[in-house]
Amino acid sequence: MQQAIFGGGCFWCTESVFLHVKGVQKVESGYAGGQRANPSYEQICTGATGHAEVIRIDFDESELSFNLLLDVFFATHDPTTLNRQGNDIGTQYRSVIFYLDEKQKNFFREIVKNINKGKLYNSMFHGLHHSQKVLLFAYLIGL
């Protein structure tokens, strides 16, 4: 079983997309990348904590490749829209990938480089962060 952590706007919307992808075993919504331990939802919404809304995906690599997983990620939102997706505005809605090991880091960097080089979007995607920045994965379902 492999894991990936993506932020692509509202985590419930992103979670819904990935729940329907063959090979995905589990998707959980949470927050990652912030500087404050255990912030409240209200604190996150101010943008002051640095957290992003993310999903953690457990997937079977024999059924689903990283490449296809990223294809879904990039096809379902605009990764170059700074701090917003659709009507959701704020730093917590930024597009970001948190890599969990060097293999993911190198793979994601290559994909992002090709996306930026191919000029698929009007601007560039820069949201790649190491998993050490994942300080909080709070499950706030039921807010």
Task: Just list the catalytic residues.
Answer: 10
**Do 99 and 133 meet the contact criterion of CB atoms below 8 Å apart?**
no
DSSP code for 91:
G
Tokens 């994965």, residue?
137
Provide the edge-to-edge strand list for the sheet that holds 24-32: 24-32, 52-59, 2-8, 95-99, 128-130
| Residue 107 CA from chain centroid, whole number | 15
Beta bridge mates, 52: 32
The single-letter code of the amino acid at 15 is E
How far is the C-alpha of 77 from the C-alpha of 73, rounded, in Å? 7
